[in-house]
Homo-oligomer: A and B are copies of this chain.
Amino acid sequence: MYMERNQPDFGAAEWSLPTRCAACGVRMASLCGGISAAALDALNRIGRKRVLRRGEALIWQGDVADQVGILHHGLVKLSASLEDGREQMLGLAFPADFVGAIADRPSSHCVTALTDTELCVFPRSALPGIVEAHPDIGQALLSRAYDELDHMRRWMLLLGRKSAEERVASLLLQFAARGGCMAGAAVPLPLTRQQMAELLGLTIETVSRKLTAMKRDGVIALPDLRSFVIQDRAALSTIAAEYP
């Protein structure tokens, strides 16, 4: 991702973009993609780079967050916890994704870095003004919010009704779809078993057992701990109980 920082030409010459945003590797895929040079310049002035080390949090559950961000590099989780420590991962944010809340009230969730991470952060208080001044950004936010609602609905179906094996298979299919890997190629697993369990509403032991079972049945292969290969996609889809 970050190598693009050294890319000399990104269309910048034509628009005379401000330096930092012009060099941003995720800009075109993010909220800032379609906006004018003037709007980008305005953003450039209020945004700043922030680095999170693995495990560090950007937003805490229960706190009123003062920052929103656009992820540049790394992997971030959203999660919610109960007082006794039980934790449910609510989703992941990948580069170019927007994280943060709009409403001025305690956050329903935590935002935590799963790897060392770089984001472009803005004060939350600046959001209303930005949205008002740049309706494009407002519409992009709206469209992304509805995408996320859709995604969470599918996840609620998984959490409410799918068996452990169905959940694990669904997650593998989702990683495969995201990676856009060709058939037979190894798909990277961005999560540990423990993190997969948090995301699926299961325990680490159950995730491990189900992976082993699918490997034993020849549905997948596990060349190492951080990747897998789909050996029988039809079987995996059937196990996942998903429309193909």
Footprint of B on A, CB under 8 Å? 62, 78, 80-84, 86-88, 90, 101-103, 108-109, 131-132, 135, 138-139, 141-143, 145-150, 152-157, 159-162, 200-201, 241, 243
What residue in chain B is nearest A150 (Cβ atoms)? B108
B131 in contact with A142 (CB, 8 Å): yes
Per the bound structure, the CA–CA distance linking A138 and B84 in Å amounts to 39
Instruction: Give the Cβ gap from A164 to chain B, nearest Cβ, in Å.
Output: 12
Docked-complex contact A84 and B241, CB < 8 angstroms: yes
Judged by DSSP, the binding face of A is helix
- Give, as a whole number of angstroms, the nearest-CB distance from A34 to chain B: 14
What chain B residues lie within 8 Å of A159 (beta carbons)? 156, 159-160, 201
**B154–A108 touching, CB < 8 Å:** yes
Residue of B nearest to A199 (CB): B160
Q: How far is the CB of A155 from chain B (nearest CB, A)?
A: 7
Contact call A152/B154, Cβ cutoff below 8 A: no
Query: When chains A and B are docked, how far (Å) is the Cα of A96 from the Cα of B152?
Result: 23
Contacts A80-B153, A80-B157, A149-B149 supplied; 11 other A-B pairs, CB < 8 Å: A78-B153, A84-B241, A88-B156, A101-B146, A101-B150, A103-B147, A138-B138, A138-B142, A141-B142, A142-B142, A152-B153
Question: Are B160 and A88 touching (Cβ within 8 A)?
Answer: yes
- Please, could you name 20 A-B residue pairs with CB atoms under 8 Å apart, sorted by A? A62-B243, A78-B153, A82-B157, A82-B162, A84-B241, A101-B146, A101-B150, A102-B142, A102-B146, A103-B143, A103-B147, A108-B154, A135-B138, A141-B142, A142-B142, A145-B146, A148-B149, A152-B156, A160-B200, A161-B201
Q: Which residue of B lies closest to A151 (CB)?
A: B108
The 5 closest A-B pairs by CB, nearest first: A160-B201, A88-B160, A159-B159, A145-B145, A80-B157
